[in-house]
Structures are given as C-alpha cells and as structure tokens.
Amino acid sequence: MSLRIVVCVKYVPDATGDRHFADDLTVDREDVDGLLSELDEYAVEQALQIAGNADDAEVTVLTVGPEDAKDALRKALSMGADKAVHVEDDDLHGTDAIGTSLVLAKAVEKTGYDLVVCGMASTDGTMGVLPALLSERLGVPQVTLLSEVSVEDGKVTGRRDGDAATEQLQAALPAVVSVTDQSGEARYPSFKGIMAAKKKPVQSLDLDDLDIDADEVGLEGSWTKVDEAAERPARTAGTIVKDEGEGAKQLAEFLAGQKFI
C-alpha cells in the first residue's frame, strides 16, 4: 500500500526584504516578495527521502495562503513532490495559529495521509506550534523537532536534540513530524524538475470545500489580537574603532565603563 505523505509548506515574506505590517496589523503579504519558507524546504527534503526509501509513496505539498502562495507549491513540486493542494479563500486573511491548524487539519484529512511532515517553524511567525496543534487536532502522535528521521514498518523514528538531552523517539503511523534545519540540506530543483513541475496537478480548495465556517477563521475568528505594532527604534550609532594595536585596550575601557568588568 502506498505511503501517503503530506508536507505542510508556508509562503512567507522574504526575511532579507523589508518585512512589515499592513494597516490591519496583519503581516503584509502583498507588498513584499515572498518565497517558500526556507525551513519548510527541509520538510520537503525529508519527505522526498522517506518516499524514496518506501516501496511506493506519494508526496503531496499543502499550503494555506494567498494566490501567490502557489509559488511555494511550485518550488516544492520542482524539488520532486508529486502533487499540491492550495487552500485559498478571502476569508482566511488574518487567521492565527489555532485557525490555521484547523484549516490544515481538514485539508490533510481530505487529502488522506499516513504521515504529515512540517518545518520546525515558519520564518515569519516563528511560533513553532503548528505541528503540535495539528497532532492534537488529528489525534495522532507528534514526533517533532527531529534532526534525523526515518520511516520503517509503519513506524516513524527520529532524533530530537533538546536543550537538556538528546532523545530518540518512536511512534506508529499515522503521525505528524517536524524536522529542523539540522536534518540535512535541501536539494535544488533540477531543470528537469522545474519543467516537470509545470505539469503536476495543483488542487485548489476553499473553506466550503473543507466545511469550515468563515467565522472560525480570519481576523474576526482569531483568538488573539494584535493591538499595536511599532518599528523598533534603530539602535543609536555606536563607537567604532580600528584596531592599530590598542583595540583590545579601548574595548576593555568601554566594558569597564559599562561595569562589565
């Protein structure tokens, strides 16, 4: 039987660009260049490797996001995923993590899955909670923050490098995993991959398709609210000296002045 893998990927504003908030205090996703979250490339990579080691597997990439989010799906398809699902609906604008987890869970269930693979965190929201929320909603084990992962005999195993310890984890499928940026470099799409991706199916779903009411998601349905967003004042220009033999002494002087020594 085929191993059905769904990879959750997010389309995010480019971190090296000028990220900012829109007037309604949501992340501005229109005025800024976006891309497939770099941390989700690791998820695509591990999914492709797991699929490659299975007798028969199918990798679906899934995103919840605006029109442009298709770019993220195309990138993942050109890396080698088989098909894509795009959940897109005007009522989704401003959805928070809890709402996003509802949409992802419904879409994952509709697609059908044995394994869900996520990145460790999105590079814009950086919450790192969606994999746990998905696991809670789907009622399947979470095997998260893995720097090594493999699937065999209906079980997923992996290594989680925590602050206090390194843990070896194991769970039966179906399960939700997330992988870190230590899990191994993501492949670059080949020319052939890019050409092939153009012909791969991208299914579009809206809230109706997923039986989700508009008031369960979006800015209104959000269970949190941003009241204020202010640009952090630029740090005032500091003192910069060129080391001509005295650099260390000058720095020590500064540190002593600040009572660090």
Partner 1 sequence: MAEVLVYVDHVDGAVRKPTLELLTLARRVGDPVAVHLGAGADGAAATLAEYGAVKVLAADAPEFADYLVVPKVDALQAAYEAVSPAAVLVPSSAEGKEIAARLALRIGSGIITDAVDLEAGDSGPVATQSVFAAAFTTKSRVTKGTPVITVKPNSAAPEAAPAAGTVEQLSVTFGEKSTGTKVVSRTPRESTGRPELTEAAIVVSGGRGVNGAENFSVIEDLADSLGAAVGASRAAVDAGWYPHTHQVGQTGKSVSPQLYIAAGISGAIQHRAGMQTSKTIVAVNKDEEAPIFDLVDYGVVGDLFEVLPKLTEEVKARKG
Ligand X SMILES: Nc1ncnc2c1ncn2[C@@H]1O[C@H](COP(=O)(O)O)[C@@H](O)[C@H]1O
Contacts (CB under 6 A) with ligand FAD, residues 137-196? 181
Among 122, 135, 144, 183, binds ligand X (CB under 6 A): 122
- Segment interacting with partner 1 (CB under 8 A) among 12-20, 59-67, 78-86, 210-218: 12-20
Look at residues 111, 3, 7, 6 and name the one whose alpha carbon lies nearest to residue 57. Answer: 3
Minimum CB distance to ligand FAD, residue 4 (Å): 27
Residue 119 engages ligand X in binding (rule: CB under 6 A): yes
- What is the CA 56 to chain-centroid distance, rounded? 26
Contact between 153 and partner 1 by CB under 8 A: the answer reads no
DSSP helix/strand/coil, 62? strand
Name which of residues 5 to 24 contact ligand X (CB under 6 A).
8-10
Cβ contact 8:43 at 8 Å: yes
Query: Which tokens in the block code for residue 50?
Result: 């797991």
Q: Does 39 bind ligand FAD (CB under 6 A)?
A: yes
* Least distance (Å) between residue 222 CB and ligand X: 14
Terminal-to-terminal C-alpha distance of the chain: 66
Q: Which is nearer to ligand X, 39 or 197 (CB)?
A: 39
> What Å distances lie between residue 96 and 15, 92, 130, 161, 249, CA to CA?
20, 9, 10, 28, 50
For ligand X, the binding residues (CB under 6 A) are 8-10, 37, 39-40, 43, 62-65, 97, 100, 104, 118-119, 121-122, 125-131
